[in-house]
Amino acid sequence: MPDSRFPAPDSRLPHLASARVGVALLMGASAMLFAGGLGAMIVLWNSHNGFAELPPPPVGMSLVATLVLVMATFCCWFAGQLLAAGRRGSGANGVYVAFLLTVAFVGIQLADRFGEYSATLALATNLFHALFWFLTLLHLLHVVIALLMLGRLAVQSWKGTLPTEEKGGIDWAINWMLYLLAVWLVLMLVMFII
């Protein structure tokens, strides 16, 4: 018997999946971290403490990483479209490719951060370099979360249990990858180009 103290949900309201709400809350919380770090960097860059004279970090490998992240995000989105169309096999292949491209992004980022010019961007050199490390490694942590999501989907694909009707996990991954790409493009714009 329904409890009269709690009214029945209005069927005219859209249903929000808890996964979607959780990812949205996680994105909102991490966006504040990124905004704070970027805001501090912009304020310091435009102040009179010599930041503007510092050479920007080399952009070469980060540009390659950007292209890889764009391709990974597209593959994840396309896998979602294929799954929504009921094409489980093709969708699973899209998930595998997105996972491998995301692993490649992590590898490029680690090689870039700890490669030949990492000594010139040492954490203890100045506050700009500390902020640079904080923001890029924070983004890398978010990419690891994406790898966990895509890895779960890859295991489901391998077992043949990847859902096609209620997309659930693929929705998480698509939204998260789009968020990662947007944050990375802003980081590239602020730290490498401007």
User: Per-residue pLDDT tens for 34-69?
Assistant: 888 777 777 776 666 655 566 666 677 888 888 999
Domains identified in the chain, total number:
1
102 within some domain: yes
Digit-coded pLDDT (tens) for 136-159: 888 888 899 899 989 988 888 888
Domain CATH for 163: 1.20.120.80
Of 81, 57, 17, nearest in space to 187 by CA: 57
**Positive or negative: CA dihedral 50, 51, 53, 55:** positive
Range in 89-93, 130-134, 137-141 the model is least confident about: 130-134
Res 10 pLDDT > 70: no
76 within some domain: yes
30 within some domain: no
31 within some domain: no
146 within some domain: yes
Task: Assign residue 115 a region (left: φ > 0; alpha: ψ between -120 and 50; beta: otherwise).
Answer: beta
Domain that holds residue 98: 60-193
154 within some domain: yes
**Cα–Cα–Cα angle for 128, 71, 93, nearest 5°?**
135
177 within some domain: yes
Helix (H/G/I), strand (E/B), else coil: 84: helix
